[in-house]
Each structure stands twice: as C-alpha cells, then as structure tokens.
Structure 1
Amino acid sequence: MVLLKDKKLIISLLFFFLFCLIAIVNHYSLRTFFDLGMINQALYQLGNLQNPLFTLGIDGKDMPFLATHFSPIIYLYYPFFLIFGHLTPTLIQILAISLAGVPIYKLSLLFLNNNKTLANYCLIHFYLIWGIYSALAFDFHNNVIGSMMVPWLTLFLFQKKNYLLIIASLLMVMCMETFGIWLFTVLLIFIIYQFKHNKHLNKIALLVAFAALVYSLLVINFVMPSLQNTAQNLQFGRYSHLGGSLAEVFLNLIKHPKIIVEGLFTNLKDKSFAIQKIIFLLFLFFSGCFLIYKNPLFIFIFLVPLALKFLSNDSGLFGIYHQYSIEFVPLLSMVLIFGLNKTNFLIRERLALACCALTAVCTFASLNFSLGEYDYKANSSFYKPVHFKPGLDLGSVKQSLKLIPIDAKVSASSCLSPYLFQRRYLYHFPIIKDAKYIAIIKNNRSTWPISEEAHQQKIDLLKKSGLFKVISDQKDMIIFKAKEN
C-alpha cells in the first residue's frame, strides 16, 4: 500500500512497462536491425577473448569495433550478456532511460522548492519526450546510454558529490567519441550557472570538463584514425563538405558563419530545403524549449548535438526519428526544470502541465504521422494491435535459422543480425564476400541500403548463380548455402 502511494514510483513503473512494450516486442518480432546485431556480435567476441570486430558495414570493410564509434562501455555490458544473452543491450537501454527519471525527479525537488507535484510533472515530461520513443522504436545505440548520464551528472554537480560526478562523466564519455565535447559544454554551462547563483566554483567539475574535452579530441583525431587505418577519421564522411578534420570543420565554420544559418533549414550537401529540420525545431520548441528565454545561457548545451545533427550531409540525422534525437531529451528536461525555477509560483503547476500536454501531442504526432525519413511507426505504435503482430512466421524463421552452424560466416538481412551474432564474420546483405550461408527475409522488411526491387533481383541472381544452393525456402525467409568446390 505504501508503494501505491508513491506517485513517482508508479509513474516510473508505468513508463518502464511501456518502454518494454516497444523495445522488447520489437526485438522478438524481428523489428530490430544491425546496430543491435553489431553490439551482440561484439559481446559474443568478447566472451571468446577476441578483439571485437565490426563486419556489418554496408561498404563491406571489416574493422575493429571501436573504430566505428569509440564505445568501450560495451566491456561493462558483458557480465549482463552472460545472463540475458541477445536481449542484453535492449534491457540496458530501457533501464538507462527509466532510471534517468530518478535524477530528473531529484533535480526538480532541488530547484522547485521540494514541490512533489511539480517534480512529478517534470518526471512525466521527461518520459513523454518523443526522442525516447524514436530511439526505442529504432534499435539500440550507445548514445542513448550516454545521454541518460546527463541528468545524473547534473544532479551530482549541484549536490556537490564530485566522486559520483566523476563516475557519471566517465560512463558518459565511454559511450561515444564525441560525448566528451558535449560533456565539456554541459558541465561548463552548469558550472557558470552555479557560480552565478551562489558564487561557488567547483574546480573538480571544471577539471572533469576539460579532461573530457581532451579525451574526445585525442580519440577523434588520433585513436580512431589509427584503428581505422586511415589518415582522417571515417566519421568525418558525414561532414566532408565542411572539411576533412575536426580542425578544418571548426575553422570553416568560423570563416563562413552563414553555413550555420543555412544548416538550420537546408541540406548542406545539396542546398535543398530540409523540412525535417523545421519539424525538429518545432518539436524542440513545443516540448519545453520555449522556456529557454528564462536561462539563455542554456542555448550552449544544445550546440554540440545540434551541430552534429544539422551540419551533417546525412538526411537521416535531420529529423525526429532514429536515435539521433535522444541527446535532446535530458536537455529539454533541464530547460523545463530551470525555467520553472524562474517562473512565478502561481503559474508553475499550470505551465508544467501545459508543457507535458504539448510534449505528449508532439510525441503522439511522431508516432502516428510520417514526419521525416524512416519513421518506423509500426515499431513504436505500442497502443495498436498491429504492434504485437510480427508480420512474419517467427516460429518458422527462428527454426530455419538453426540450419546455420554457429561461427559459420553469414550474410543476412539486417533484422536477422541480432540473432545471428554468434560468429566472427557476419555481413549485411547484399554484402556477401566469403559467406558460407546467406539468410534473407523476403517480405521487404529490411532491404536497406538497396531498393525493394534491387533486393528481389539479388535473390533471383543468387538462385541462378550456381554458387549457392537453397537449403530452406519458407514464406518469409530463404537460406542459401555455398556449394563446395
């Protein structure tokens, strides 16, 4: 009975259950993709005492796992992988999001005069933000885990718990190579805010901020190019129109600031109008960012994720979908909490409730309408019966996958990779290379990066090639095996 009276716990458990309905159902319905597959493959290789290898690239190149995104945090996942197997990354992502509600609630109490009603509104607002649902609907990515560290390290900063701040910061920078730069801006802004209001300068936090910045710069400019065996970091391919290195990009933006303005509404690759960017900015505004005028300094905590999103030549990053909006989830919560802190007591609760309602409308729109590329509505419509219908004969598909020996080299459809991780070499069809088996979903669920028509043509060519024989041809999946010489 005591637990039922704890509103924050009820709110958190309800959203945890909702998140499970999205992510776990998608995973078991084969609606996840190669991002999850590459993590499971890396964890499997760790268990075999191998240096994790990334082999699922659509360019057909193999490279060390940490050369794709520098995410050494995966080493911390392995003990859980021994227990939960291929479901591990999905569970970790759900837990990371759900538990981030704890510091959101505590920060709300800290800055809103211990008002539990307001704290509950802020907690609901956080869990409602569309960036969470687009990330869970897509797949797994370590930037979700890193983003969920922001509320924790912010709480520890203002509680002056420096040892916990260091741990949270370390976990965050271990998630992705760029997160040290973002962490630097976040900590620096909150340190300035703290000093401005109570004249306290947290020198430890300042040291952590600069250490994180140096770490990211070293990893981006030296460690990753070394792992990739290239002169320049391959991740700069998305920003090649701005320069070939981080320094070149930075200098180019300083010399030509109009690029930043153009980046707000156009695709810098071809100068075409990008409606996805306008939609994203509107979603930001109505989900709480309209309160940023209360703390204009907070604009700077948005700069790194906004730059990575809007200056890219990859249109998949521009809008509200995928995992590319998750960084803005904790930032919107910070804007709301600190904005309410500077709002008249008499209207705080009404304003918080209105913000929750507007955010809910934005999220509902993102789940029900196509507002950008690759919206994955079927993956996120947890409130519709169709979400619980996999659209495949799962029993037949998973039984047929048992025909493929563990550790055999395989080329597979993207949605099969999270289940075919138990091998050193796993390729993303239509990449075949030296694969001994090819497993393809036939219903066009995951034909990326080729069209549905090209996908069918590839299957037809395999049947006629004489190099492979069909060992299983079901309604939803076909499996080929290489003929022996």
Structure 2
Amino acid sequence: MQAPLANGAKVPVQQQNCARTAPAEPQRKGRFDGTWWIWAMAGALFVAYAAVSVRFHERMITSGYDLGIFQQVVRSYAEGHLPVSEVKGQDFPVLGDHFSPILALVAPFYMMWRSAETLLLVQAALVAVSVVPLALWARRALGAPAGAVIGACYGLSWGIASAVGYDFHEVAFAAPLLAFSLTALGNGRLTAAACWALPLLLVKEDLGLTVLVVGLLIIRRGDRRLGAFTALAGLTGTALALFVVLPSFNPDGSFAYWSLLQDSPVGSQGTTAGGAGGLLGMLHQATIGLVTPQTKVTTFTLVLAPTVFLAMRSPLLWVALPTLLWRFASDNNLHWGTSFHYSLVLMPIVFAAFVDALVRRGTSGPGLRRYLAASAAITLMILPSFPLFQLFQPETWRTDARVTTARRLLAMIPDGVTVQASDHLVPQLADRTSVSLYGSLGSRPDPQWVMVDTWVPDNWRRWPGQPLSAEAEHQRLAYDLGHHYGLVAEEAGFVLIHRRT
C-alpha cells in the first residue's frame, strides 16, 4: 500500500509509519529553561532585603515608629492576647488604630525567635515571594528574558527598596497577595484572582477598596456573580473596619485618621473647619489638591516610570487608584512622596499592568527588547537614591562606636521592666521590656528605667511648647533626676537613669 502525497506521488506506508514514530531530536536546554532561576532570583532578593533591613536595625537606624509598634503587636499575639502598643499609648489597643489582624500570622515565628529581626525577615520573605508570580507570568507569556528582566526590575524597584529600608509594616502581606491576584486576573483565572484578593481585607482597612476594584475588573472579564461578590466584600470590609471595628477599639471612639482627609492647606491658612470653609477644603483636596504640590505628580511619575508608562494601557492599573487617592488626598505630606513604605502596595500593581500591557499589544522581537531595556535602565538609574543601594556603601557595614556604647548601656536594663526610651532605642527593647517613647504624653508615667540619646532629639516629642533640641532633652532629664530618678550611666550622649525605690 502507498499513501498519496500533496503532489500526487505516493510513499510506501511503511515509510509513512516510520516517519510518525521516529523520535524527535533532543532539544538543547538553555540556562533559562524551567523555573528554578526565578526562585533563585527571589532567594537572592530575599537576602538583599534582609541584609539591608537587619543591618539598619543593627546600626540603630530603625525606630519605635514603626518597628517598635509592630514588634509590640506581634508580641501581644504571641503572648495570647489582643494587640496593644505602649509606643502608641499606655495599653493602647492597636485594633483601634489600624485593622491588621493578619499580623497574628507572624506570632509563631516570633515565638521561636523573640526579636525585631524576626519581623524584618518575614517582611523580606513576603516581598521576595511576590516576585515569583510576576516573573512566571512574564516568562510564560513573553519569554524567559522578559521574565528575568521584569522580575529583576520589580524586585529592585524603588517602592520596594523604600519599604524594606524602613522598619516593618503590615502591607508587606499585600505584596504577594496582589501579585498572585493580578497575575491570575491577567490570565483569566478569575476565581483564583478573587481568592488571592479577599485576604487583603485582613491586611489594612483601606485595602478593601482595592478588593472592590479587583471585583469590578472580574465583572469586566465576564464573571458577574463572582465579581459582584468580591466587590461587595471589599466595600463591606472597609466599611465595617472604618465605622465599627476601629471605633469600638479606639479610646476616642472614632477612626483616628479621618482628620487627614478633612484638613487641607486651605483650612490651615485660616479657613474655618466647618460650614462653607470645610466644604471648600474638601473640594480642594478632591480636585486640585490631588495634584498639588508637585511632590504628588513626581511620585505618580516615578510609580509609572519603571514600566516605561506602558502600565497605563492596562485596566489592571485601576487597582492602584484607591491607594493613590487616599495618599494624595491626605493632609500628611509624608504620604505624598517616595519615602517610607507607602508605595510598596503600588509596585506589584504597576508591574502586573506592565506585563498585561505587553501581552495585550502582542509585543515581541525588537519592540519587546526596547521596552525591557528601557525598564531596566530606568530602574538602575533610580536605584542609587533608595535604601537597597546602601548595600554597596562601606558605611553600611561599619558599626559606630556609639552603637556599641548604646548596646552596653541597654544591657543594664533588666527584662520585664517598664522603660521610656528615645525613638531609635525603642525597637532594641521591645522584645523584653514594656517600652514607650520618652517624653510622650501618652507614655506610661514613672517608668522604672529611662534611656535617652541627647544627641538625637526625638521628632515624636509630645510635651507642649517644648522645643525639639538637645537642650530640651537635658532640661527634661534634669527635672527627672531631681524627682525620683538616679543617674546610672552617662556616656557618648546616652543617659541612663533608674527610678529610686
């Protein structure tokens, strides 16, 4: 028997069968085949994040606001009771400040290693894991080189660098949840997208609005029932947190941060807080105030710059809207810029939008390489201005003589006592004492021990009318020494005093 060919010729069936069963020639595997290198990249980034944050803590660059607070929160969970923070105030219930019950998941690790470093390592691991879904998506959809570049650019992005370089924060949990959720959403796995997004309700009260937007995008992708459920859960979660849970725990009976959205530059210049003046201030914040001062525009530009602004072509970028709105509407200028941890939530969103936009455009070949090269160049250009670059600075690996002195004096404070301390000394004591901020009006009065760095006046001073200066520290210490306290040690600007029995 013979089989016909397209040109009419015939081939013996035996030869045809041989052609079907002949094994294909083995393909040579490249070094980027498989996924091991993505996990290796995440591991390397974990080491970098952990190194910079732990080293900052060892150099006493961390602070009571916020590492000390979160350490007291996690310690409370580890000891089996609802979280309180002496840094926030005497027996202050932290669930009245921010709704972040997900922090209870850190407690088992803290029970094994009772130290601030535990929190920093957990944060480094959470952020490093968030690299994996984005890199895998880029690799699968755009090729291995794209996965490597996008994973690295995300992992080294300035928003992540700012977060790991400044203490510990609950929003570290949001990074992997958002990365997995948006990766699933971008690939049409809508149930997975909802399941990864819903735990954001336990991370922080404002992230329910982020879940709301994810639900709306799920509706847009075609699953109306699931999307409506997700959106409603997000909106309900935020409403319950803001109007029920937080006020019920807060000693003042309200959400502590409403004032950040009610005050405005207009009001601060003499406009009355109520009536037409208050409405004018709110209108200003909701319009012109969202783009002024210029710091806000600069931050928004830097958020999109590592994606070569291509993220703006993806509907996934809408997920960033709630975070951008509350930050730019806030009266606190710390929320507007690129410092601290406030941009961590935005990074997985914009990079997921970046991958989605590249896939939607069908970008490949020279066009794709140009986008990847531009993203890498922008990321490397911005990197030296943010904390990860400190790993390459010799000063990072030197221990100042004052730090050694401080540690020696801190060791003189017994475990389990009440202490007031300067802001950057608080995280060094939070694992073994009941520590609060020295001079803060809400701190526990008459602590057993006080340790103050008179060379670094605290910015968290709460004494009315008292200037932030070394002289003010000495005046306050002189008062304490004259009333029930005795001097234990004074060295290199550190003063340690103990209450007389």
Interval of TM-score (by shorter of Structure 1 and Structure 2): 0.7 to 0.9
Per mean C-alpha deviation after superposition, the further-off stretch among 449-458 and 407-416 is 449-458
| Alpha-carbon distance, 1:303 to partner | 1.5
Cα separation, 1, equivalents of 2:58 and 2:378: 32
Alignment of 1:340-379 (within 5 A): 340-343=358-361, 344-346=363-365, 347-364=367-384, 366-367=385-386
Which secondary structure state, in structure 2, belongs to the residue aligned with residue 404 of structure 1? coil
Map of 1:271 onto structure 2: none
Structure 1 residues 228 and 441, CA, compared in 2 at 3 Å: closer, same or farther? same
Letter in 2 for 1:14: A
Secondary structure in 2 matching 1:85: coil
8 Å contact kept, 1:288–1:355: yes
Q: Kindly indicate whether residue 350 of structure 2 is the aligned counterpart of residue 332 of structure 1.
A: yes
Alignment of 1:169-208 (within 5 A): 169-189=197-217, 191-192=219-220, 195=221, 200-201=222-223, 203-208=225-230
Partner of 2:304: 285
Q: 1:233 to 1:286 in 2, by over 3 A?
A: same
Q: Is 2:285 aligned against 1:259? A: yes
User: Is this contact kept in 1: 2:62–2:166, CA < 8 A?
Assistant: yes
Alignment match of 2:410 (pick from 401, 407, 417)? 401
- Structure 1 residue 64 corresponds to structure 2 residue 69: no
Shift of 1:159: 5.8
Distance 1:337 1:159, change over 3 A: closer
Deviates more, 1:90-99 or 1:408-417: 408-417
- CA drift of 1:151 comes to 0.7
Please list the CA deviations of residues 198-256 of structure 1 after superposition, one character each: whole Å capped at 9, or x if unmatched: xx42633542332122111111111101101334311212112279xxxx9xxx99997
Distance 1:469 1:229 in 2: 34
1:303 and 2:355 equivalent?
Answer: no
Q: Which has the higher contact order (CA 8 A, sep 6+)?
A: 1
The residue matched to 1:480 in structure 2 has which SS? strand
Larger CA Rg, structure 1 vs 2: 2
- Which residue of 417, 425, 428 maps to 1:419? 428
CA distance in 2, matches of 1:424, 1:330: 37
User: Distance between the aligned counterparts of 2:413 and 2:52, measured in 1?
Assistant: 29
User: In the alignment, does 2:106 pair up with 1:77?
Assistant: yes
Matched AA of 1:265: V
SS, match of residue 290 in structure 2: coil
Post-superposition offset of 1:146: 1.6
Whether the aligned pair in 1 keeps the contact of 2:96 and 2:246 (CA below 8 Å) is yes
Normalising by structure 2, report the TM-score.
Answer: 0.81
Conserved? CA contact 1:44–1:422, under 8 Å: yes
1:340 aligned partner, one-letter code = L
User: Over residues 293-332 of structure 1, what are the superposed CA-to-partner deviations in whole Å (9 max), with x where a residue is unaligned?
Assistant: 423x345222111111111111111100000111211122
Residue 95 of structure 1 deviates from its aligned partner by 0.4
Unmatched runs of 5 consecutive residues or more in structure 1:
267-273, 368-376
- State the shift of 1:7 in Å: 3.6
| 2:452 paired residue number | 440
Contact 2:262 2:281 in 1 (8 A): no
For structure 2, the residue ranges without an aligned partner over 5 or more in a row are 1-28, 268-273
- How far residue 282 of structure 1 moved from its aligned partner, in angstroms, is 2.5
The answer to whether the 8 A contact 1:22-1:137 is kept is yes
Match of 1:54 among 85, 105, 114: 85
CA shift digits 1:330-358 (9 cap, x unpaired): 12202210121133323012212211211
Residue by residue over 1:11-37, the C-alpha shift from the partner in whole angstroms, topping out at 9 and shown as x without a partner, is: 323322221221111122211112111
Q: Which residue of 2 aligns with 1:374?
A: none
Partner secondary structure for residue 56 of structure 1: coil
Q: 1:63 to 1:453 in 2, by over 3 A?
A: closer
Shift in alpha-carbon separation, 1:396–1:66, aligned structure 2, 3 A: same
CA RMSD of aligned residues (A): 3.0
Give the aligned residue type for 1:448: N
Partners in 2 of 1:457 and 1:473 — Cα distance? 17
Partner SS, residue 481 of structure 1: strand
Counterpart contact for 2:87–2:437, Cα < 8 Å: yes
Select which of 42, 59, 66 maps to 2:73. 42
Q: What's the offset of the Cα at 1:161?
A: 6.0
Deviation at 1:106, TM superposition (A): 2.3
> Once the 2 structures are TM-superposed, how far is the Cα of residue 276 of structure 1 from its aligned partner?
2.4
User: Aligned equivalents of 1:285 and 1:175: distance in 2?
Assistant: 24
Residues 434/171 of structure 1: CA separation in 2 closer, same or farther (3 Å cut): farther
Counterpart position of 2:245 = 223
State the AA in 1 paired with 2:262.
S
Overall identity of the aligned pairs, in %: 19
SS of the counterpart of 1:321? coil
CA distance in 2, matches of 1:280, 1:46: 35
Q: Say if 2:420 and 2:451, in contact at 8 Å, map to a contact too.
A: yes
What CA deviation, in whole Å up to 9, does each residue of 1:275-303 have, x standing for no partner? Answer: 422321231232226114423x3452221
Letter in 1 for 2:145: T
C-alpha distance in structure 1 between counterparts of 2:280 and 2:467, whole Å = 43
SS at match of 2:113: helix
Distance 2:449 2:98 in 1: 28
Using a 3 Å threshold, how does the CA distance of structure 1 residues 452 and 14 change in structure 2: closer, same or farther? farther
CA displacement, residues 407-426 of structure 1 (integer Å, 9 cap, x when unaligned): 21111112222221146742
The answer to whether the aligner puts 1:294 opposite 2:313 as a matched pair is: yes
Q: 2:63 aligns with which of 33, 55, 64?
A: 33
